Amino acid sequence: MNHIRSQILVCAGTGCTSSSSPAIIAAFQKELEAQKLTEEVKIVQTGCFGLCAMGPVVLVYPEGAFYTHVKADDVKEIVSEHIVKGRIVRRLLHKEGQDAGQTTSLSDTQFYKRQTRIALRNCGVINPESIDEYIGTGGYEALGRALTQQTPQEIIDKVLASGLRGRGGAGFPTGRKWQMTHDAVSPDGVKFVCCNADEGDPGAFMDRSVLEGDPHAVVEAMTIAGYAIGAHQGYIYVRAEYPIAIKRLQIAIDQAREYGILGENIFNSGFNFNLELRLGAGAFVCGEETALMTSIEGKRGEPHPRPPFPANKGLFQRPTLLNNVETYANITWILNEGPEKYAAIGTPKSAGTKVFALGGKITNTGLVEIPMGTPLRTIIEDIGGGCPNGKKFKAAQTGGPSGGCIPASLIDTPMDFDSLGSIGSMIGSGGLIVMDEDNCMVDIAKFFLEFIIDESCGKCSPCRIGTKRLYELLTKITEGEGTMEDLDTIEELCLHLKSSALCGLGQTAPNPVLSTLRYFRDEYIAHVVDKRCPAGVCKKLIHYTIDPAKCKGCTLCARNCPTKAITGAVKAPHTIEQEKCIKCGACMASCRFDAISKH
Amino acid sequence: MKSLEELRAIREKMQKQLNLREKNEDSIRVVVGMATCGIAAGAKPVLEAFLDEVEKRNLSNVVVSQTGCIGVCQLEPIAEVYVPGEEKTTYVRLTADKVPRIVTEHLVNHRIVTEFTIGAAK
């Protein structure tokens, strides 16, 4: 038989790969061969489906059955039951929340229903290593039309009309950036197109997923950008820690070259364009545009002051267009569906959709793409499924170490550039870390500062020294040594840092501190005045005690204590010597009578 | 790649494969019983015939799928046709030769081939 009657889609994104999807693919191959089904059933490796917490995930068409937490041992059953006999393996179907009825189809899940997938349109749908499948979805059509029927200005006008703003964090209007680079005069006519794939925010992985799931979308958009601004060479700066993304990008570039979509005289239009990868060594600062371009030039990745802006003097001192992966992933959709359609999604000032990487204390960890302006509540409660274990939602951190927190009281804030900016947060690159009642906000601010100290390049002193001093002040507070004057010093230092640091990394570094101070000042004061950590996180401020009324003297805690801090006779109430206690919590975990409390 | 036509040729070739990955609520579903009884009675050539015929006529709104034992094993091979909004039709004692008529008359022209249905088999 020469018809493919069924397709098995297996996620081969980083998340599912690390939970052993390659073994599942191999098992399917083996099983299909054993059952002589290889000619009628096709295995397709796809990019990320978005529901990483449920991985590895497998989707079987034409039924559209969505299997989650699949193990290699389950493969035999899926093949013999579903593929051969057409009986869906119900026990492996995705279960949603408390819902006893199991959802068969992916598109029926709450997780997907609320999403609008534009940048992620092909992720989890096509095989990212097949240019034919990309073309099958309408790929390279926008490029073909642009090169053969449209002028560069017509394309820029469309990007302008769409209202698309940069998805890397700052939210600069993409069309204006294209126009500026188009208008800039290069001394020798050379211009460059670059893609920022140096995704570095802790908890953000949407760019990785686009590169892994739909690399041709970026290749096509960059080629269109090259035509629009008059560049013939592009660079994708991707971090070396993304091996799967790098591999798929390289395959995509090679396939495009082979098809004559990259190279010379593309679509017989006389336009030449080439793309190359540049791997970053993982320095966070290289995600900053001037540092990124310095790094591509082969120099140490340090930023330099702007102006001149990259649009006038960027890579190798030539006008350069630099956009983020997700920004490029929107371009072909805009050109194919029309800028008006894109502008109609989202809010008037923040058009289109945004991908968020949901992480932290949330049930459905994964990637979600929603129209701009969707309230945070929809993301946390409906799509994310709320905090696990019935804990109370406390705050969400957006924009990673450059962003701020959104407290539970502002959960109805629309997620768009301006609304988030007005409450002291930002969309940022799209990392969304959820915190529940067990998270200490001072500790969170300290965590992000520690990250910044590690990643500061050290070129300017406000960032190099200022972040270190800030960190020391926060440490003082978490150890119960802080004073109310320290809070004032922190605020003053934050303002100086914001206004005097050389690049975005230093300028935004105080944001997590400022926003937690703004919304959780009482928690700071509890640390300073009452010497108490309300969430019970800061070790120097918590104490474990044994309730003599509840303690039966079973000695279990004393035997589990690593520092022998617990004493007491058998069958008599025990006590903890606070000087010896290292606050590891082993006693509390082992007590069967609920006699030990933390406060 | 020298022209849009060249690109569109590849696109068309690939589209059939990708269409399979879209769940369309309006499509007609043909489900062939493929349990042990069905396979033993010759359901496989029937399934292949359906796939062949649907492909030949380029019926993008038809999904051919398989299922387990439908329950009346003595009438296998069985195929059921689900047209959205209508009662399902059960065809019995099928052979590959009977399939083109079902596809032409039922799937394309919406006329049930009564003589092959379970009602006529008694």
Q: At what angle do helices A215-229 and A243-258 cross, to 10 degrees?
A: 60
pLDDT value for A1: 44
Which of A334, A324, A412 is CA-nearest to residue A373?
A412
pLDDT value for A2: 60
Nearest by CB to A140, from B7, B31, B32: name it: B7
pLDDT value for B84: 84
Between B72 and A404, name the one with better pLDDT.
A404
Q: For the ranges A296-300, A411-415, B38-42, B66-70, which has the lowest average pLDDT? A: B66-70
Q: What is the pTM of this model?
A: 0.86
A593: its two tokens: 């009578």
Contact predicate B51/B61, CB 8 Å:
no
Which of A326, A325, A327, A297 is CA-nearest to residue A310?
A297
**Residue B64 C-alpha, separation from nearest chain A C-alpha, in angstroms:** 7
Which of A433, A449, A448, A440 is CA-nearest to residue A396?
A433
Contact predicate A122/A199, CB 8 Å:
no
DSSP-derived secondary structure for chain B: ---HHHHHHHHHHHHHHHHTTS--TT-EEEEEE-SHHHHHHTHHHHHHHHHHHHHHTT-TTEEEEEES--S-GGG-S-EEEE-TTS--EEE-S--GGGHHHIIIIIIIT----GGGBGGGG-
pLDDT value for B88: 86
The mean pLDDT value of chain B amounts to 85
**What is the C-alpha to C-alpha distance for residues A376 and A366, in angstroms, rounded to an integer?**
15
The ipTM is: 0.78
The torsion region of residue A568 among left (phi > 0), alpha (psi -120 to 50) and beta comes to: left
What length does chain B have?
122
Instruction: Return the bridge partners of A359, or none.
Output: A433
B1/A260 CB distance under 8 A: yes
**Low pLDDT (below 50) residues in chain A:** 1, 98-100
> From the CA atom positions of chain B, what is the Rg in Å?
16
Chain A contact residues (CB < 8 Å to B): 1, 3-7, 9, 42, 61-64, 84-87, 105, 107, 125-126, 132-133, 135-141, 144-145, 148, 259-261, 266-268
Contact predicate A190/A318, CB 8 Å:
yes
Which H or E run includes A6? strand A6-11
**What is the C-alpha to C-alpha distance for residues A426 and A508, in angstroms, rounded to an integer?**
10
Q: Which chain A residue's Cα is nearest to B46?
A: A1
B15/A5 CB distance under 8 A: no
CA atoms within 13 A on the CB side of A264: 0
Task: Count the Cβ atoms, other than its own, within 10 Å of residue B38.
Answer: 27
**What is the C-alpha to C-alpha distance for residues A396 and A433, in angstroms, rounded to an integer?**
5
Residues of chain B contacting residue A49, judged by C-beta atoms under 8 Å apart = none
For testing contact with chain B, the best of A43, A132, A135 (most B CBs within 10 A) = A135
Pairing verdict, β A58-61 and A6-11: antiparallel
pLDDT of B83 higher than 90: no
pLDDT value for A480: 93
Give CA angle at A235 (A233, A238), nearest 5°: 170
A579: its two tokens: 């000087």
Whether residue B40 lies within 8 A of chain A, CB to CB, comes out as no
